Amino acid sequence: MKFAPILYVIACLSCLTLSAQVEEQKLDQLIENTLKTFEVPGISVGVIKDGKIVYAKGHGVRALYNNKPMDDNTLVGVASNSKGFTCFALAMLVDQGKLSWDDKVRQHIPEFKLKDAWVTEQFTVRDLVTHRSGMGLGAGDLMFFPEADFKVEDVISNVGYLDAESSFRSQFAYNNNMFIIAGEVLKRVSGLSWEEFIETKIMKPVGMLNSKASYNRVSDKSNIIEAHTFADGKLKQIPHDWSPTANPAGGIVSNVNDMLTWAEFLMNDAVTKNGERLLSEAQFYELWQLQTPLKVSKNDSYNSNFKGYGLGWFVTDVKGGYKQVYHTGGLLGTVTQFTMIPDLDLAIVVLTNQMNGSAFTTITNTIKDSYLGYKNRNWLQILGKSNAGWYKYNDSIKTEVFNQVSKMKNNNVIPKPSTITGTYKDAWFGDIVLSKNGNDLVIESQKSATLKGKLLPYNATTFVVKWNNRSYDADCFIQFVFNEKGQAVSATLKPIAPITDFSFDFEDLKLIKQD
């Protein structure tokens, strides 16, 4: 990966510390330097303090191909920042007496079934939205990431094939598919689709007039970002990729102005600008209560004492015991961050069109520090350096792996194509076909059309899957198990480098050869 020289932006950092009020020119400079350091085409930022918008502006461009400027009205997929909307919607149904957080899921979705019969019967609506299912990180995400041919009913059926990695309710492990199922609960209880409910019952009364609950519901795309990422070391624009099936987990499209409106509404105790209360005080209070604890780092940057997940929100305390409510979101080619410190009546929104979280962290932390009284901590320098180191580390792993691939060409220990080609089935992901195409061995998922690639030899039992879509940055090992006749009978996969997004959950696949 190429990095813009960091020294010239570091030299300016001493003058970037924000005072107790956002200074527009200094924040402009910080954002411009952040764009350069992390090679992000466009970023839009909003800050609300004491009920007033003190900053709302876009920087850079919304797409590399047209270089049109990004502004405060530019639409961006906010990804998992959608989860707070899903839980708010469920809380509205609790207020109406149609639902309880502790209703068993099977009360509303009788066909819901997990591997463990007892867990199936005990699993509640609250469990759906608190990442404590017992399944591993990102379990089953390949059903929608990248965009795949799975419907909600498939997700409900297929989670029953996923193994638990911990006991029920004992550990936090981020899970998108449970939010998809929570969206189905909302639909069956309310009679409205998740998208209709979010837009008519929340966005419209709150005043989020330019936001939509799904990318495919945006009719005017004249001011919307394109996604970007690094592919083989070069920054590239990539196609939009999102399955509407996963909308309750991450489908909302919004902009800085509307997200600031959302923040103002939340920090006004769920009362709209017109004085309409959309959620009772009791249910609103419930949303930000810790449900699943998380460890706080010994060297936490904000002297936090606790951290955990509430109902659709991460919750922690920052300097002096101020409660912080926040979330991040990530799609292929874009990441976002939404942060509120209600005690300070402060909210910060950062939307980007390149999937590098160090960019939004640099901006959010610098703004947050100014209001919390921290002196300049040089987040751009700190995160710029660690970001460069992270990519260098991952590149070294990839280089070593592909050097090994080069050495193994024409090596006699490599299994012959006839011993591994055929159709392999996974219980929840369906068929994956390995075949010969000219001189190449190729792999192709039958349910996820863009998961296609080549098999490259690595050792006597293992190949490297090099995906055709280089923007995934998710090449993986495929390891075969052979029978006594030297024929492959099964295979497992795992990423070759830790930079691979956890939603490429290849390790959950158990491929059994069918022929």
| Residue 289 φ then ψ, to 5° | -90, 140
Residue 60 within any structural domain of the chain: yes
Domains of the chain: total: 2
CATH number at residue 13: 3.40.710.10
Least confident of 82-86, 229-233, 383-387: 229-233
Above 70 in pLDDT, residue 81? Answer: yes
Residue 109 within any structural domain of the chain: no
Q: Which neighbouring-strand residues pair with 102?
A: none
Residue 233 within any structural domain of the chain: yes
- Write down the number of H helices and E strands in the chain: 16, 20
| pLDDT tens sequence across 94-139 | 999 999 999 999 999 999 999 999 999 999 999 999 999 999 999 9
What was the pLDDT predicted at 22? 66
Average pLDDT of the chain to the nearest whole number: 94
| pLDDT tens sequence across 196-239 | 999 999 999 999 999 999 999 999 999 999 999 998 889 999 99
| pLDDT tens sequence across 39-64 | 999 999 999 999 999 999 999 999 99
Question: Do 427 and 345 belong together in one domain?
Answer: no
Q: How far is CA 487 from CA 426, 436, 481, 514, in A?
A: 18, 16, 8, 12
Question: Do 371 and 456 belong together in one domain?
Answer: no
Two tokens, residue 264: 């103002």
Percent of the chain's residues with pLDDT above 90: 93
Beta-carbon contacts of 78 under 8 Å, excluding residues fewer than 6 positions away, are 250, 252, 253, 254, 259, 329, 336, 338, 351
Q: How far apart are the first and last CA of the chain?
A: 41
What was the pLDDT predicted at 233? 85
Residue 2 within any structural domain of the chain: no
What was the pLDDT predicted at 410? 83
CATH number at residue 420: 2.40.128.50
Q: Which of 361, 391, 421 delimits the end of a domain?
A: 391
Above 70 in pLDDT, residue 10? Answer: no
Residue 89 within any structural domain of the chain: yes
Question: Do 384 and 437 belong together in one domain?
Answer: no
This prediction's pTM: 0.94
Question: Do 379 and 426 belong together in one domain?
Answer: no
**353 touches 1 (CB < 8 A):** no
Residue 33 within any structural domain of the chain: yes
Q: How far is CA 186 from CA 46, 85, 86, 105, 151, in A?
A: 30, 12, 8, 11, 16
Residue 107 within any structural domain of the chain: no
Band (21; pLDDT cuts 50, 70, 90): low
> What domain range is 279 assigned to?
7-99+126-391
**120 touches 112 (CB < 8 A):** yes
What was the pLDDT predicted at 23? 86
| pLDDT tens sequence across 394-446 | 999 999 999 999 999 889 899 999 999 999 999 999 999 999 999 999 999 99
Two tokens, residue 343: 């005690």
Question: Do 470 and 359 belong together in one domain?
Answer: no
Residue 427 within any structural domain of the chain: yes
User: Which among 193, 160, 195, 165 has a CA at the least distance from the CA of 178?
Assistant: 160
